[in-house]
Amino acid sequence: MTISATAGPPPAPRTFRLRAIDAMTGFLLLFGGIWMVVDLAVVIGLSLATGPLWNDLILDRRGLAAEAWVTSVAPTSTRVNGHAVYRVAYTFTDAAGGVRTTSSLTTTTVLVGAARGTTVAIEYDPQSPVRARLDGERASLVGFFILIPGGMALVGGVLFLLGLRRVARIRVIYVHGQAVPATVTALRPTSMRVNGQRVVRVEYVFDTIAGKVPGRTSTRNPPPVGGTLWVIYDASDPRRSVAA
């Protein structure tokens, strides 16, 4: 955001412009959005490659034991802790007498070398028999470690939603607020950088019929202390203002 000290904004109601979004809000949207999307993609990718965590949660609660017959063992392109992952396909008979065919992922070398027709112990979900796992193993090879990128995706999502909330508030003030010139009273550099430029917190004061009101914004291109910038404030609550 670049703050202009020359031309004032048009009268209300005015068209909302993205330049009204301060640097802090833009950072929340950009950083939170990237964080959320990247880590969510990691969660989805790991779940597809190594099995979703909820399969284990379901099987822990209602899994039934059975014997299965291996029909094939095939390598995958996935590796976990340096070990190649194989998909073991097998057939079993469930408690209702139905013959089911499904598969599980494994890194166990004994199972990798299992021949066609070898008997293996499994656990399966009676409500969805294709959901199964090899006895003593997990349906999800990464297990609860999936919660690490999942938690990071959640944090990114919260930051992104906070940014959207700030945009909604800024938009209302910008479109319907009252424009006045303000005087810059202080510049405070922050630890945040956007595109290599340090974000600066700009503190200002402006006149209303109720007296002088302070406000602040954040930008990468601040005017000097004592300089003038245009702000738009909420007439019902002058403490709520944005740089024009």
In a domain, 48, yes or no: no
* Distance, CA of 158 to CA of 165 (rounded, Å): 10
74 and 193 fall within a common domain: no
In a domain, 174, yes or no: yes
Q: Which pLDDT does position 110 carry in this prediction?
A: 65
96 and 217 fall within a common domain: no
Last residue of a domain, one of 139, 170, 201: 139
Q: Which pLDDT does position 78 carry in this prediction?
A: 87
The parts of the chain modelled with pLDDT lower than 50 are: 1-3
Please give the structure tokens belonging to residue 147. Answer: 């919660």
Q: Which of 165-179 are b and which e, b meaning 16 or more Cβ less than 10 Å from the residue's Cβ?
A: ebbeebeebbeebbb
Number of domains in the chain: 2
32 and 87 fall within a common domain: no
CATH number at residue 111: 2.40.50
Q: Which pLDDT does position 10 carry in this prediction?
A: 85
35 and 152 fall within a common domain: yes
214 and 134 fall within a common domain: no
Which tens digits make up the pLDDT trace of 179-213? 999 999 999 998 888 788 888 999 999 999 889 99
163 and 234 fall within a common domain: yes
68 and 98 fall within a common domain: yes
In a domain, 35, yes or no: yes
Please give the structure tokens belonging to residue 119. Answer: 């008997």
In a domain, 11, yes or no: no
In a domain, 182, yes or no: yes
Residue 166 belongs to what domain range?
18-39+148-243
